[in-house]
Structure 1
Amino acid sequence: MKRIAKAVWNGSGTEGSGTLSTPQSKAFVDLPYSVKLRFENEDGTKGTNPEELIAAAHAGCYAMALSVGLEKQGYKADSIETKATLSLDKQDNGWAITKIDLKLDAKVPDISEEKFGEIAKASKEGCPVSKLLNAEITLDYTLN
């Protein structure tokens, strides 16, 4: 399975801007992003940034992984709400994603705290986006 996202950037790094799109699902098309939106628009009301999208992907992936993990053990959640808070920090060698905090609020009938914790932790480790943070990244490029 392959999924595609597309970024278009115009102009310089600090003064330019771009758009992000998901051409397969069309979940978002030409969503604006820029350095200014990334670092100066703290409320995020005028566009998005890569870190917000990574946090959204992680929250969604984890909630789904937990649901599947519960189902495999014979449980069905009434609800799973996951909030992912990504920390982007300035370091000596530039900016780095230093942490993602997952906050989970779930309603699962007839499960013990211990069993739920076991499944929740295993789901965090098994979530493909969690694994991505340690994945090989390849690059294929064309210079025109």
Structure 2
Amino acid sequence: MTLDEAQIDAQLQVMAERLRTARFARGLRLIDVAGMTGLSEVHLYRLEQGERAPSLRALLALAAALDLSPGDLLTSDSTAPDRSAPHTGRAVWTGTEQTGAGEMIKGAVRVRYDLAHRANPELIEDADDTVGSPEALLGMAFAGCFSMALASDLDAAGYAPLRIETFAEVQTETGPGGMALSDIELRCEATVADIPDAQFQAMAENTKRSCLVSRALAAVPARLDARLVSITEE
């Protein structure tokens, strides 16, 4: 049977997915696989995007490096996790790091950023609402994910979350290796009906450890100050 172009493209996508999955599962970077196989990083990237078909020699080298059989790279894996549609964002930077500026873009939302505001977050507080930093957006994502996950956990436990507000403070430090995230502090105020404070604190702490963004930021220490606000205070 002769494969048509559509079938070939579909097979290349299967192989690309298997390559990415196998590499990620082993904690390997493209440069690591390049060193193990003799293939260039650019070529490996194109293989993982389904843009190129590997030669037989490359297929055998990749299979050996990833501890797979060549057939494993050419068949879909029914046990692989389902992937939802990606969440997208875009950034455009113009000029050098020192003197340039950029925009982080999501739909009609545009957040301007530059080195001065990134290095001195207090300047953001004095700017208009269109100025921010990648770290501020990271904190917003953590706060949003935590709040939504906590509402889900409370509801699953039989409690009614009325309002959850979370503030995230992302701390950076500069050392010999350059700038790095040093820690993140979440400050949460929640109005929840009929829940003992001790149980709320335990659930909030568990959510802080397990929500999606928290797991993605596992290498960054995160602290939580959670306060249960009574309905009469609200």
TM-score, normalized by length of structure 1? 0.84
1:31-55 CA deviation, whole Å, 9 max, x = no partner?
A: 2111122124623125111000001
2-structure distance, mates of 1:113, 1:42 = 34
- For the aligned residue pairs, the C-alpha RMSD in angstroms reads 1.6
Per-residue deviation, 1:95: 0.7
Q: Which amino acid aligns with 2:160?
A: K
Higher alpha-carbon Rg:
2
Q: Which amino acid aligns with 1:100?
A: I
Tell me which of the two structures has the higher relative contact order, counting C-alpha pairs closer than 8 angstroms and 6 or more residues apart.
Answer: 1
- Which SS does the other structure have where 2:204 is aligned? helix
Runs (4+) of structure 1 moved beyond 4 Å? none
What's 2:116 paired with?
36
- Which SS does the other structure have where 1:15 is aligned? coil
Match of 1:101 among 185, 189, 201: 185
- Which SS does the other structure have where 1:108 is aligned? strand
Per-residue deviation, 1:83: 0.8
Shifted more, 116-125 versus 94-103: the winner is 116-125
What's 2:56 paired with?
none
What's 2:159 paired with?
75
Q: Which amino acid aligns with 2:167?
A: K
1:88-125 CA deviation, whole Å, 9 max, x = no partner?
A: 11122111111000111111111112211221112112
- Count of aligned pairs: 131
**Fraction of identical pairs, as percent:** 32
- Equivalences for residues 1-144 of structure 1 within 5 A: 1=84, 2-23=86-107, 26=108, 28-29=109-110, 31-40=111-120, 42-44=122-124, 45-46=127-128, 47-134=131-218
Higher strand content, 1 or 2: 1
CA shift in 2, pair 1:40/1:114, >3 Å = closer
Consecutive unaligned residues in structure 2, runs of 5 or more? 1-83, 220-234
- Which SS does the other structure have where 2:96 is aligned? coil
